[in-house]
Amino acid sequence: MAGFAFVFLTWRGQTVILSIIIATLSVPFETIAIPLLLVVNNLPSIGPNGFTMGWLNSYHVQIVPWIADGLTIFLFVQYFRDLPHELVEAARLDGSTWFDVYWRIIMPISGPVLATAAILKFLAMYNQYLWPLFVTQSEQFRPVMVGLQYFFQLNIAWGEVMAYLSLITIPVLAFYLALQRAFITSIATTGIKG
């Protein structure tokens, strides 16, 4: 919605606010970690135990603070700028509200940017270590990256683990190479008539 507002609506100070949002990309996470921890610790939550204060030891504390960030908003702004503005003008002339334009016209054609943003956010959240370590104390809510640290405390037979992984990796690699060859062949023959 922020990207839509920056592109299709006109309001005072929008370039300054977009510049500030893009500037937040240069702020490292470590500078906001403790203030963000204090904020999420004081937010109300309704769950199976009723009304509680604080989001610690939950899944939503690991998801909600990272849904919208400067990169995601910038991606949507850049994508929406390339869309034809005539679509929005025609919908507004037909009497659609701004939310209708957003929900029924812009979002159905925004599949590529939604997929890109989802992949980038998933990779960033999957590789996070510090934030889940701060906000989860029980093993039930810890993600993979924090859970992997427990393997280093155990006595693991790494030779057997690597042998098992090689049994899985070799067929997957062969399948990938076969598909890659077929994909390159199909690209090379595209556009050739005859």
The DSSP line for 29-49 is HHHHHHHHHHHHHTSEEEETT
Within this chain, do residues 48 and 21 fall inside the same structural domain, yes or no? yes
Q: Regarding predicted confidence, which is higher, 17 or 192?
A: 17
User: Where residue 7 sits, what CATH number does that domain have?
Assistant: 1.10.3720.10
Number of domains within the chain = 2
pLDDT tens digits, one per residue of 119-133: 999 888 888 888 888
Within this chain, do residues 73 and 164 fall inside the same structural domain, yes or no? no
**Mean local confidence (pLDDT), 14-41:** 92
- Give dist(CA 133, CA 138) in Å, integer: 10
**Mean local confidence (pLDDT), 143-151:** 78
pLDDT score at 191? 54
pLDDT-based confidence at residue 187 (cuts at 50, 70, 90): low
Neighbours of 101 (CB within 10 A): 20
Within this chain, do residues 52 and 146 fall inside the same structural domain, yes or no? yes
pLDDT score at 9? 92
Within this chain, do residues 74 and 49 fall inside the same structural domain, yes or no? yes
Q: Quick check: 74 and 22 in contact, CB under 8 A?
A: yes
Within this chain, do residues 128 and 62 fall inside the same structural domain, yes or no? yes
What's the pTM value of the predicted model, to 2 decimals?
0.71
Within this chain, do residues 116 and 47 fall inside the same structural domain, yes or no? yes
Within this chain, do residues 32 and 52 fall inside the same structural domain, yes or no? yes
Domain around 172: 155-194
Within this chain, do residues 111 and 165 fall inside the same structural domain, yes or no? no
Within this chain, do residues 161 and 172 fall inside the same structural domain, yes or no? yes
Within this chain, do residues 118 and 188 fall inside the same structural domain, yes or no? no
Within this chain, do residues 166 and 95 fall inside the same structural domain, yes or no? no
Within this chain, do residues 166 and 189 fall inside the same structural domain, yes or no? yes
pLDDT tens digits, one per residue of 148-172: 777 777 777 778 878 888 888 888 8
pLDDT tens digits, one per residue of 44-88: 877 777 787 888 888 888 888 888 899 999 999 999 999 999 999
Q: How many residues does the structure list for the chain?
A: 194
